[in-house]
Amino acid sequence: MRILVSNDDGIHAPGLAALVEALQGLGELWVVAPERERSAASHAISLRDPLRAWEVPYPGARAWATTGTPADCVLIGARELLPALPEVVVSGINRGANLGEDVWYSGTVAAAKEGTMWGLPAVALSVCCGFDAPDYRAAAAFARRLLPLAAEHLARDVLLNVNVPNLPPDQIRGAQVCHQGRRRYQTSFDKRTDPRGGVYYWIGTGEPLDEPDPGSDVSAVAAGQIAVTPVRLDLTADDAGGIATWLPSANA
């Protein structure tokens, strides 16, 4: 099995190393990852800037670092650097959750999604550690068991977004197929002044007030379960058909 591994925390991220180590022996491992952290890059690709990629030594894999985004990495990996399309794409293990609407911001999920766009089975993995030190062990072990099955069974336009509680492996309470939940971020801005008197901002952090929603990824992780959320490329809201009843005419 030809496996393309990427992430959004960058080529030097411990979560990437944990994933590559866990996948040893499953097949040919090819890593293409951003040279620096690109968390929350979503699905951006580089159109106006050159995309540079260079081979780097990496234990247990052939690897490239790139100047691009996570989506760039999978795109150039699949289409240029690898000898042929990979058979499966895996992204992570991300340091931090990708639950609920995090999926829209996530570079981790976007790397997997780029694989899905090429018709490949793809899996994104994240550890829900907040600001705590991440324990990648449970996610790494689950990835090793999941990947061959996902490669065999996953529908062509669906990726798996996997979120793992930040717990020792023996405290994980199983794995659950979930729907995408909701997080309510209390975003505030931290306004500061630079040494020359210029005003700048940091987008604030703060823990989101996750809504209890049985069956959601948010609730599963809160209950100590691994949340496996199937995410579809087609974003159409099929249940919003009533729009046709109030849509204005195209011509005045």
Query: Which residues contribute to the site for Mn ion (CB under 5 A)?
Result: 8-9, 39, 94
DSSP label of 79: I
Q: What is the Cα–Cα distance from 22 to 140, expressed in whole angstroms? A: 6
Shortest Cβ distance from residue 55 to Mn ion (Å)?
23
State the minimum distance, in angstroms, from the CB of residue 92 to Mn ion.
8
Shortest spacing between CB 94 and Mn ion, in angstroms: 4
Q: In this complex, which beta carbon is closest to Mn ion, that of residue 37 or of residue 87?
A: 37
We find the least distance from the C-beta atom of residue 123 to Mn ion, in angstroms, to be 15
How many Å apart are CA 238 and CA 252, to the nearest integer?
A: 28
- 77 versus 151: smaller Cβ distance to Mn ion: 77
Q: How far is the CB of 14 from Mn ion (least distance, A)?
A: 12
Yes or no: say if 88 and 66 are a contact pair by the CB < 8 Å rule: no
Place of tokens 């798996």: 160
- The C-alpha atoms of residue 192 and residue 214 are separated, in whole angstroms, by 40
User: To the nearest whole angstrom, how small is the minimum distance from the Cβ of residue 70 to Mn ion?
Assistant: 9
For Mn ion, which is the closer residue by CB, 77 or 92?
A: 92
Q: Which residues pair with 191 in a beta bridge?
A: 201
SS3 231: strand
> Closer to Mn ion at the Cβ: 39 or 229?
39
Reported for 149-152, long-range contacts at CB under 8 A and 24+ positions apart, including other chains, are 150/88, 150/121, 150/122, 150/123, 151/1, 151/87, 151/88, 151/121
| Number of Cβ atoms within 10 Å of the Cβ of 3 | 22
39 or 216: whose CB is closer to Mn ion?
39
Least distance in angstroms from the C-beta of 195 to Mn ion: 30
Nearer to Mn ion, 121 or 134 (CB): 134
Q: Pinpoint the alpha helices (H) of the chain.
A: 14-22, 70-76, 102-105, 107-117, 137-153, 217-222
Q: Which residue's CB atom is positioned nearest to Mn ion?
A: 39
Least Cα distance to 162 among 172, 236, 30 occurs for 172
The smaller minimum CB distance to Mn ion, of residues 6 and 39, is found at 39
